[in-house]
Amino acid sequence: MIGGYLRTTSCLAMIAAAGIAMGGVSAQAADLGGNCCADLEERVAELEATTARKGNRKVSLQIYGQVSESVIWWNDGAESNTYVQENNAIQNRLGVQGSAKINSDWSAGYKLEMQIRAYRSSAANQLSLGASNNVTIPAYNTQSITIREANWYLRSNTYGTITVGRTADAAVGTGSISLVNPDGFAGPNAGMANAGFFLRRAGTVGNAGLSGRTWGNTAFLPNGDGPFPFDYATTNSQVKYTSPFFLGQTKSSGFQFSANWGADDAWATALRYVEDFGTFRFAAGASFAAFSNPDRTSCVSSNNENAANPTGVGGGGFALAPTPRNNDDGNHRCEAIQASASLMHVPTGLYVSGVYSQQENSRANLRSAMNVAGISADQQASVATTSSMWWLQAGWQAKLNPLGSTIFWGQYVEFNGGVNVAGNVIQTVAAADVLNSLGNTAFVRSATTTAWGLGVSQNIDAAAMTLYAGFHNISTDITLGSTTTAARAKTNPIDDMQVFYTGATIRF
């Protein structure tokens, strides 16, 4: 009798445990009937069949990602509106990663990561209507899934990490180091909130006052996508080495060296540093990158046997030959340096962060491209081949409530673009464009764009979430050069743009 009671109790305990484990998998699972333990095995098998499992017991599997969506109000000087968009400065991502321990020093692992674009902020503009009633508006329907990372690695605690496949190059991040992350559009990529918008001639109203050129492909630094080009090739197919930290006070402080090569002779090298000095924390990084392949779309080409081919909205450009000559490392050539640093007084939470970045386009390649475009020798001799930017942010991080830290920040960023190249194409402005002050087809010789902003963020630690809000005022000054004469002049006046945004990023 006692034995039967114990068997029954044990069975009930197993049923209860199974109920907790399965939760609400199905209502039928609660009606076990028959032999309880045999039925429990059935239910466990059913649960396993409906649960994501890793392929083996040796390599771990972790699903991770983030979602960042914003409500953005904008004013271009004559028109204003509010959009709900993906924050393309942060991006929506979904990935899987894992690792396996080989011995006490060595391990192996992998990463597969996607970027999921849904009406991204960098592509919207004044004409955007989105997709409705099964009608697609290409200007705004920017939904897509792209591969960010696909790689494997071997890691030694003693010797460092070798990564093979599509991954971030060594320079990525050295132009945006900050000990405090306010999220949102705070940072060097402030222009991601308005990069797709058309420039407006000052004093105009309606669509007739809009240029064919956008903030992203004209006013900011030229990379064909957004305002901050030096991390444009965020991921390449490559071999990358990352050292352990060395000469530091701990195993996770001091210096760290990294270098990579791949993607048809693109390479980069970087040095990072982080350390605590009493009540102060300091982080810094610097990098050099060289590109000689057409994937770096802000690089001009020296291979210009093809005839000029005008392209683009409202103005276009002169398309360059897409196929490089064999073994011609100078066919597409540009170089970039980046350096950034951040200092924080830990007890008070006061901090300051700064960045300087510069990209140099090959003058020989640029001159060759301008020859194809028919641009005069006088124009060629005086154009700037260098684009640069600098950024400064200061703020205060404090624990003002039980949710998490609160961050108040202010910043200023300046972009100085040389000859505008996007998609390996010299950008031009049509003769009839509202900004063209020369009366004939012109190219963008240079642009100086500034943005100042203020904002606040609130971390919610229990949900791995950051709420943010901010404001930016952006203005630009663009100089044109004639494609047929030696004439050059500033564009017709351009309205400033204001952007207010609020939203959140949640990570999992």
Q: Of 452, 442, 451, 450, give the one whose Cα is nearest residue 492.
A: 442
Mean local confidence (pLDDT), 107-125: 88
Query: pLDDT at position 329, please?
Result: 44
Residue with token string 């460092």: 160
For residues 504 and 84, give the distance between their C-alpha atoms in angstroms, rounded to a whole number. 12
pLDDT in tens, 452-461: 999 999 999 9
Q: Environment class of residue 502 by beta-carbon count within 10 Å: exposed (0-12), middle (13-18) or buried (19+)?
A: middle
What are φ and ψ of residue 208, in 5° steps?
Answer: -65, -20
Question: Buried b vs exposed e over 111-125: b needs ≥16 C-beta within 10 Å?
Answer: bbbbbbbebbbbbbb
Angstrom distance (rounded) from CA 453 to CA 189: 12
Confidence at residue 242, expressed as pLDDT on a 0 to 100 scale: 98
Q: Which stretches of 266-411 are DSSP H helices?
A: 363-372, 377-382
Task: Count other Cβ atoms within 10 Å, centred on residue 20.
Answer: 8
**Cα(213)–Cα(494) distance, integer angstroms:** 12
Which runs of consecutive H residues, i.e. helices, occur in 23-56?
Answer: 36-49
For residues 398 and 406, the answer to whether their CB atoms sit within 8 Å is yes
Average pLDDT of span 110-128: 86
Task: Looking at 26-137, list the stretches that DSSP marks H as alpha helix, in order from N- to C-terminal side.
Answer: 36-49
Domains of the chain: 1-52 (no CATH), 59-507 (2.40.160.10)
What's the mean pLDDT in 68-93?
92
With vertex at residue 165, the alpha carbon angle to CA 161 and CA 167, rounded to the nearest 5 degrees, is 75
pLDDT of 399 reads: 96
Is the model more confident about 308 or about 290? 290
pLDDT classification of 146: cutoffs 50, 70, 90: confident
Interacting residues of 417 by C-beta distance below 8 A, sequence separation 6+: 219, 220, 221, 222, 387, 444, 446, 447, 448, 449
Q: Which residues of 220-259 are buried (b: 16+ CB within 10 A; e: fewer)?
A: bbbbbbbbbbbbbbebbebebbbebbeebeeeebbbbbbb
Predicted pLDDT of residue 140: 55
Question: Does residue 374 surpass a pLDDT of 60?
Answer: yes
* Angle between helix 2-22 and helix 36-49 axes, rounded to 10 deg: 20
Question: Per-residue pLDDT for 27 more than 50?
Answer: no
Bridge partners for 356 per DSSP = 339, 390
Residue 489 corresponds to which tokens in the numbers above?
A: 């002049």
